[in-house]
Structure 1
Amino acid sequence: MSLIQITDLTFAYDGSWDNVFDHASLQLDTSWRLGLVGRNGRGKTTLLRLLMGEYEYAGTISASVAFDYFPFPVSRPERDAMEVVESLLPETESWEIYRELSALEVDPEVLFRPFFSLSNGEQTKLLLAVLFLRPNRFLLLDEPTNHLDLEGRQVVSRYLSRKQGFILVSHDRAFLDGCVDHILSINKQNFDLQQGNFSSWWENKQRRDQWERAENERLRRDIARLDAAARRTAAWSDKAEAAKFGTGCGDRGFVGHRAAKVMKRAKAAENRRREAAEEKSALLKNIDQAPPLKLHPLAHPKQRLVEADRLAADYGLGPVCAPVSFSLMQGDRLALTGRNGTGKSSLLKLVCGQEIPHTGTLALASGLVVSVAPQDPSFLRGDLTCFAADSGIDETLFKTILRKLDFSRAQFEKDMAGYSAGQKKKVLLARSLCQSAHLYVWDEPLNYIDLFSRIQLEQLILEYQPTMLLVEHDRSFLDAVATRTIYLERP
């Protein structure tokens, strides 16, 4: 057993007025399969980059193993995948490569194709195999699920469950449950490290948060009772003090002694009130609040909003998926699933009115208002105020939703180009939530989105029951919100 020791770690980005980590300490075992969770912007990727030695920091990080980071760039991707693998693993036997690919359910044929021609999922699996074949390495896996379809996530989760020695950043609850044995949560004020999978950590967190809320309420009532008692005691004290010097008092010494006792009790009550207030102030600061979101979907005069008949995207080399037919009725939440490259996003774009080459027919209800949350947020630049104006949405409502999605007010002053990928996705989702529409089309809305916000979105959809067409690979989310699922198959 060897350890990764983090001591008194303090780090802030250049130009930032607040620390990402402030005197944080942590000890990790290099044999663990560690899931790293936390809200967007908390520093998950930053922690991995610090372990890689990419930033200067205060404090110490010591480890007896070398770190490898995923994802990493591949030089000369025009080479065959086997050449890429051999350049990264010059001393590895070919049978070892085939063994890892078999465990990842990758056809060995991909090794003899140009690396750039592989799907994102195939590239992800191939590079994971490379990393796990390197000796004496501790792996830092930063959201490897983002380019994996539902089946691919299940395969990779099983693969990782048979490995050891990695930190995995992921927001997919089912994926984490399948492959980790410890959870590290980056909270508002500290690290929380627990043995177990995501579900056991979440249950413990809910229990702890519930206790803190109950304790907070008890102390609030205690402070109110002590305040009332202090006011009564003050009134008695004033009355007794006046009686010492008023008329008709036979024993000023006795009255003074009684007043002193009253004052002593008042001081003790005040001390107790102060202690309770200090104890109360220490609570709730580390609880991640997830206030409920709101949505105002429109009702359409027709029940059938979308009708697809033998529809398939076709970019000139034949349909990318087997033709699919479906009707989307008001109240439906239809999820398109299938392997990468089967045209799921293309079908969404067709429904949104984009010119995509296709076969078959697609009919939309007249006057249909569609709200879109696209897959790729990388185009976002500039400030939120201009973005809201350009999108034709109410700025106050837009920023209120972002606050509920855990944006700090300081983020409102920053250029969106500097946001994390998860924060950019939240901007696109918040814009969609500001729009009243008959149909909400969301393309992989949960990519990079933290666990707390995923649960917020689940609760929103279940409460307001909007009509939706979506592509998503988070099994827990789909199980919760989708009313129907259509699996797209290769032709």
Structure 2
Amino acid sequence: MSLIKVANLTFAYEGSYDNIFEQVSFQIDTDWKLGFIGRNGRGKTTFLHLLQGKYAYSGSISTSVGFEYFPYQVANQASNTIDVLESICPDFLQWELLRELNLLDVAEDVLYRPFNTLSDGERTKVLLAALFLKENSFLLIDEPTNHLDMHARKLVSDYLKSKQGFILVSHDRAFLDNCIDHILSINKTNIEIQKGNFSSWWLNKERQDNFELAENRRLKKDIRRLTHAARLVSGWSDKVEKTKTSGRKMSGIKPDKGYIGHKAAKMMARAKNIENRQQAAIAEKAKLLKNIESADKLKMSPLQYHTGRLAELANISIYYHDRTACTGVSFTIEQGDRIALCGKNGAGKSSILKLICGDQIDYTGSFRKGSRLKISYVAQDTSFLRGNLTDYAAAVGINETLFMTNLRKLDFPRVQFEKDISTFSGGQKKKVLIAKSLSEQAHLYIWDEPLNYIDVLSRIQIEELLLEYRPTILFVEHDQAFNENIATKYIQV
């Protein structure tokens, strides 16, 4: 066991006026299994890069261990997998590698196949095996679950549960709950560490938020009362002061200016005292709500279809020129359904979604879709996104103000609005597609892995939205908690 000590860490990217971290201090035990969470753009990956010494910063990071970062960059993807692993970890022992692959349910024959022929899940597992062959290193694991199906996520989570000494960036709640013992969270104003898993952290956060909101209501009430009292006392003071030269002169009696002045001064002092108490209450209020994620609720405009049934698939098989994507798929989409399309990677889920959306796909079987059915689609791929947000909104025919409002509610920084979308992070690109979909009026929403790279708090926001508006939606998603909370029907491919 050793410690990683972070003291007064301050960092901003070159050319930026805003610090990502400011005077941050904490320490980590290298035996911990840390889940690293926070909104997209808060600096999780940046912090992992700072630990590796990739950027200059002020403050200090001290430790006696080295760091290894996942995912590894594979320069020559046409190489056999065994050669890729040797370039990452030249001194590994064969039996140790086979032990790790066995734990990850990866067959030995993948070692002798070109790396670029492996599935996304196989690549993730192979590179994780290489990562855990590194000795005397603290491991930085950045979003390993993206593109893993639900079965693979459970397997990788169980694998990490048997290890120790890592920081894991993941937005999958069930995945985190299974394999971590501490939470490292980047909040709005600080970084904090708690013992436990995501669920225990979330419960504590809800309790703290509720306490701060109750205190906030109490202080607002006090401030209103004190403001009213200050106005009354100030008014009385002014009236008393005016009597030095007004009404009583008219009666021919000379006013006692000393007495009146003394009385006015006392009232002025009382008014000042009330004002000071008011300012103290305001200062105390400012300390509250510092980490409450106060984004407004998302909104959408689902349309009612004129009949109960929107689409029907019967014994559908989809073919590509070199393979069969899926066979014998049958289901109907009824008004109000929230359907989770499930299956392993490569099972043809995305092909089914594209067929329903109207793409030209070779298939057999019967497919019927309602006339004038309006569909809003969120693609799995985001690589086509480029240009500025204003032009994108115009190109897809949505209201720009509504689109930007949806992005802001998803904690999208205003500074990003002027940048090219191609420079956005993976999570921010996904939020662009979701905000676009929420800005569209549709009978049917079709979302293909919408939550890839999206932070946990935004996932919960989206869940609350879908449960409130209850749109008809067909989706592919490997987040177990999301599926359990949202789906009214499961279709296995």
Native 8 Å contact 2:10 2:22 kept in 1: yes
| Counterpart check, 1:308 vs 2:313 | yes
Provide closer, same or farther for how the CA distance between residues 249 and 34 of structure 1 changes in structure 2, counting only shifts above 3 A.
farther
State the alpha-carbon separation in 1 of the partners of residues 209 and 60 from structure 2.
31
Aligned ranges 1:470-485 → 2 under 5 Å: 470-485=475-490
Q: Deviations over 1:237-287 (max 9, x none)?
A: 233334455355786655444433333322211111111111112322432
Offset at residue 88 of structure 1 (A): 3.1
Native 8 Å contact 1:34 1:166 kept in 2: yes
State the alpha-carbon separation in 2 of the partners of residues 160 and 89 from structure 1.
19
Aligned ranges 1:318-357 → 2 under 5 Å: 318-357=323-362
Structure 1 equivalent of residue 389 of structure 2: 384
Offset at residue 444 of structure 1 (A): 0.3
Provide closer, same or farther for how the CA distance between residues 249 and 281 of structure 1 changes in structure 2, counting only shifts above 3 A.
farther
Native 8 Å contact 1:312 1:347 kept in 2: no
Instruction: Extract unaligned runs of 5+ from structure 1.
Output: none
Aligned ranges 1:405-416 → 2 under 5 Å: 405-416=410-421
State the alpha-carbon separation in 2 of the partners of residues 202 and 35 from structure 1.
13
Structure 2 equivalent of residue 298 of structure 1: 303
Structure 2 equivalent of residue 399 of structure 1: 404
Structure 2 equivalent of residue 116 of structure 1: 116
Q: Name the stretch that deviates more: 396-405 or 275-284.
A: 275-284
Native 8 Å contact 1:70 1:141 kept in 2: yes
Structure 2 equivalent of residue 214 of structure 1: 214
Aligned ranges 1:86-165 → 2 under 5 Å: 86-165=86-165
State the alpha-carbon separation in 2 of the partners of residues 25 and 81 from structure 1.
41
Q: Match for 1:320: what amino acid?
A: A
| Counterpart check, 1:431 vs 2:432 | no
Q: Match for 2:421: what amino acid?
A: M
State the alpha-carbon separation in 1 of the partners of residues 76 and 229 from structure 2.
77
State the alpha-carbon separation in 2 of the partners of residues 346 and 56 from structure 1.
46
Q: Name the stretch that deviates more: 395-404 or 90-99.
A: 90-99
| Counterpart check, 1:192 vs 2:228 | no
Instruction: Extract unaligned runs of 5+ from structure 2.
Output: none
State the alpha-carbon separation in 1 of the partners of residues 9 and 185 from structure 2.
16
Q: Matched residue of 1:363: which SS? A: strand
Structure 2 equivalent of residue 362 of structure 1: 367
Q: Matched residue of 2:438: which SS? A: helix
Aligned ranges 1:165-180 → 2 under 5 Å: 165-180=165-180
Aligned ranges 1:221-260 → 2 under 5 Å: 221-243=221-243, 246-247=248-249, 253-260=258-265
State the alpha-carbon separation in 2 of the partners of residues 55 and 357 from structure 1.
50
Offset at residue 451 of structure 1 (A): 1.3
Native 8 Å contact 1:303 1:329 kept in 2: yes
State the alpha-carbon separation in 1 of the partners of residues 414 and 79 from structure 2.
47
Native 8 Å contact 1:290 1:452 kept in 2: no
Aligned ranges 1:28-107 → 2 under 5 Å: 28-107=28-107
Over the aligned positions, Cα root-mean-square deviation in angstroms equals 1.8
Q: Name the stretch that deviates more: 243-252 or 293-302.
A: 243-252
State the alpha-carbon separation in 1 of the partners of residues 383 and 65 from structure 2.
34
State the alpha-carbon separation in 1 of the partners of residues 53 and 359 from structure 2.
44
* TM-score w.r.t. length of structure 1: 0.95
Structure 1 equivalent of residue 201 of structure 2: 201
Native 8 Å contact 1:6 1:60 kept in 2: yes
Offset at residue 157 of structure 1 (A): 0.9
| Matched-pair identity in % | 57
Q: Match for 1:74: what amino acid?
A: V
State the alpha-carbon separation in 2 of the partners of residues 313 and 22 from structure 1.
53
Q: Match for 2:375: what amino acid?
A: V
State the alpha-carbon separation in 2 of the partners of residues 264 and 58 from structure 1.
47
**Which runs of at least 4 in structure 1 moved beyond 6 Å after TM superposition?**
none
Q: 1:279 aligns with which of 264, 271, 284?
A: 284
Q: Matched residue of 2:340: which SS? A: strand
Q: Deviations over 1:105-155 (max 9, x none)?
A: 223332232222111001101111110111011111111000210111111
* TM-score w.r.t. length of structure 2: 0.95
State the alpha-carbon separation in 2 of the partners of residues 420 and 233 from structure 1.
55
Q: Name the stretch that deviates more: 106-115 or 335-344.
A: 106-115
Q: Match for 1:159: what amino acid?
A: Y
Q: Matched residue of 1:371: which SS? A: strand
Q: Deviations over 1:57-83 (max 9, x none)?
A: 222222211111111122333333233
Structure 1 equivalent of residue 23 of structure 2: 23
